[in-house]
Amino acid sequence: MIINRGGTLNVAYFTSYFELTLASRTSDLNEARQIIFHRLFNNNPHQLGDETYQQFLQAYNNLANK
């Protein structure tokens, strides 16, 4: 997925990314979280900004609580 580093990514974006990762790479949500965190954030929560990181965490929590 190509991302625009100039804007904040939203919960819907990350939810879709999680679902894509779960469907294609793993069926484990925690592993999907690690994959996405590494690929998009380079293991640095400040890489894309704090607001984007919070949206990432919210998408993860929404999926974890389903």
In the chain (66 residues long), the average pLDDT of successive 10-residue segments reads 72 96 94 96 94 97 96
Nearest to 60 by CA among 21, 7, 25, 4: 21
In this predicted structure, what is the pLDDT of residue 5?
Answer: 60
pLDDT at residue number 1: 58
* pLDDT of res. 64: 97
Q: What is the pLDDT of residue 7?
A: 81
